[in-house]
Amino acid sequence: MRFTPSLGQATAAILFLAAESQCLAENDVVSSQAPLTSESFFCKDPPFRAQLISTSPLLIYLQDFLTQQELQYLQKTSKTSLPSEPDSSEKTTHLSHRGNEVLQCIASRLHTFQGHRPPQINLEAPELFRRSPSSLSPDTKPKKDSASNSHKTPKTDTSTIHSTLHTWTFANQTTPGLKTTGGTLTFPLIPSPITPTEESNAAWCPPTHDPLTPRILDCDAPYSKGLTFLPVPGSAVYFLDSLPDGRYDRRTGHYTGEVTSGEVEGVVFRVGRRAWIEED
């Protein structure tokens, strides 16, 4: 008999994990080899907020999951690590987290959040990305994210990925003329909490001029489109890629919308079902 937690049980477990994650690293200090500046990098978990979006499949929005120091480092890394291809709308590269205190700090936070399982050695090389308008074609067809279909075997439908953390590190939300539009993250098979009739939509769609309560969902997207997140720097979407029996959960299939102005940057962390060995 399979145990399916209730919404209240799932919410309680998530809040416990978030609180535990905040307390564990309250005074943790990582080695002074941090590459940010001449100052030491302190690994300290921020008081992030967990919002349960879906229980089946499990999908959680993590507001302010990254610290300002981590954001600064990842933005700097994006400038130096991603290839300069002006005609490409998407640039990606994989980062080695071996000996990288910043990436290890985020990975440790993720490991604690998901209950210390699977083992932390299962974390794959984080994928750094930058998305911008394409100068080659006005094609507006949504671009499927590599995580949506590249980690399952077509014949057996077996997933090699246990969970994914999709983070955003940069999106201009305020500067006129440079404001980011597009670059959304959509799960077409997961219903959006924003429905055409419910009054609770106001909680998801606060006034756009309020910087203290940024919108995390695309309030203008049709309900039939599914669940669509806006890129909010520092925040992340966490979800389980596979079912308990190891099969790929097709409901977590997702794609990224075209960036029509500005740029969107972020890092995707994927935790495998088995140990991941980094190649030299």
pLDDT digits (tens, 9 = 90+) for 155-210: 457 788 999 999 999 998 666 667 888 999 999 999 999 887 666 677 888 876 66
Predicted local confidence at residue 28, as pLDDT: 33
Of 193, 236, 181, the closest CA to residue 217 belongs to: 193
> What whole-number distance in Å separates Cα of residue 73 and Cα of residue 57?
32
Domain ranges of the chain: 7-133+155-194+216-272
At the second CATH level, the architecture of 7-133+155-194+216-272 is: Sandwich (2.60)
pLDDT in tens, 103-144: 999 999 999 999 998 888 889 999 999 998 875 544 444 444
Predicted local confidence at residue 144, as pLDDT: 47
| Residue 14: its H or E element | helix 7-24
Mean pLDDT for 18-26 is 41
> What whole-number distance in Å separates Cα of residue 69 and Cα of residue 105?
11
Give the phi and the psi of residue 157 in degrees, each rounded to 5.
60, 30
Lowest mean pLDDT among 33-42, 175-184, 196-205, 217-226: 33-42
Helix, strand, coil proportions of the chain in percent (round to 5)? Answer: 20, 25, 50
Long-range contacts of 174-178 (CB under 8 A, 24+ apart): 174/211, 178/261, 178/262
Q: Which residue has the higher pLDDT, 15 or 270?
A: 270
**3-state secondary structure (DSSP) of residue 247:** strand
pLDDT in tens, 46-91: 999 999 999 999 999 999 999 999 999 999 999 999 976 666 688 9
Angle at 65 between CA 61 and CA 66, to 5 degrees: 145
